[in-house]
Amino acid sequence: MSDFDLGRINQLIDISAVRTDVTMDELQSMADLAVHYRFFCAYTMPCFTSELAQMLAKAKDIHLGGVVGFPSGADCTHIKVITARDMLAAGCSELDMVINIGALKSGRHAYVAAEIQAVVQAAEGKPVKAIIEVAYLSRNEIQQACEIALSAGADYIKTGTGWANQPTTIEDVRLIKSTIGDTGKIKVAGGIRSLDVMLEMIDAGCSRFGVSYKSAMQIMRDVDDRLGRTPYQNQTGSVSNREAV
């Protein structure tokens, strides 16, 4: 990958703070990092999304993202629709929704499709990423989830929430790409903790990444080093030593 591409890799990153125990100090640190590197989008849990919007208010080029049905995907459809509308009201320009994994695995494909369609309609034209949680699915189920999500109007297939017990693999990305071709885009999330992994997945067809605060800092330090740039210095506090999701 060329230096020019590395210099733009920030625009492939959606930075996130979506652990159960994220503090306001960590949220502010994430916002500061997003402002420094001008990441494409920033996400937190719904209850803090309005506060994150305020932290990023002066950074007009950084999108605000909202999570729907996060992390289990098991909310009732009307709750997902309400959450989607709440996220738009908070200022979100993109929505990442977790599909109903249990319904998919039970063969209730019409239910899964109808729920995605309901959220897409509530999104009012804003991009919707369908989180399919590949860690819980067989190869056939991954393919089914991709086909259902895109036919229901989702713009992206997102591989996971980051809450599963195993990361997204390059094989997962290749399977999704072989299934959807150019009919939709791929966002990878879950276990993205190195620049080299990102570069390999970009080559496999990924166009966006969901990356936690701590991992994003590590990745961008590597980018800074390769490009000979001065590394970022956190000014607002330190992130927890626990691995962020």
Residue tagged active-site, from 80, 158, 177, 214? 158
Of 80, 126, 185, 187, which is the active-site residue?
Answer: 187
pLDDT at 17: 96
Known active-site residue 177: no
Question: Structurally, how many domains does the chain consist of?
Answer: 1
Rounded CA gap, 111 and 40, in Å? Answer: 32
At 143-181, the pLDDT tens digits run 999 999 999 999 999 999 999 989 999 999 999 999 999
Instruction: Check: pTM over 0.85? Answer yes or no.
Output: yes
Residue 91 belongs to domain spanning: 3-227
Own/partner pairs, 110-116, CB within 8 angstroms, 24+ separation: 112/145, 112/148, 112/152, 113/148, 113/151, 113/152, 114/77, 114/152, 115/77, 115/80, 116/148, 116/149, 116/152, 116/153, 116/154
Examine residue 242 and state whether it is found in any structural domain, yes or no. no
Please say if 172 is a catalytic residue: no
> What is the model's pLDDT at position 196?
94
Catalytic-role residue among 96, 155, 177, 185? 96
Domain of residue 179, CATH code = 3.20.20.70
Segment 70-97, tens digit of pLDDT: 999 999 999 999 999 999 999 999 999 9
Asked whether residue 107 is domain-assigned, the answer is yes
Tokens linked to 3: 């230096």
Is 80 a residue of the active site?
no
Flag residues of the chain having pLDDT under 50: 1-4, 236-245
Cα–Cα–Cα angle for 194, 227, 11, nearest 5°? 60
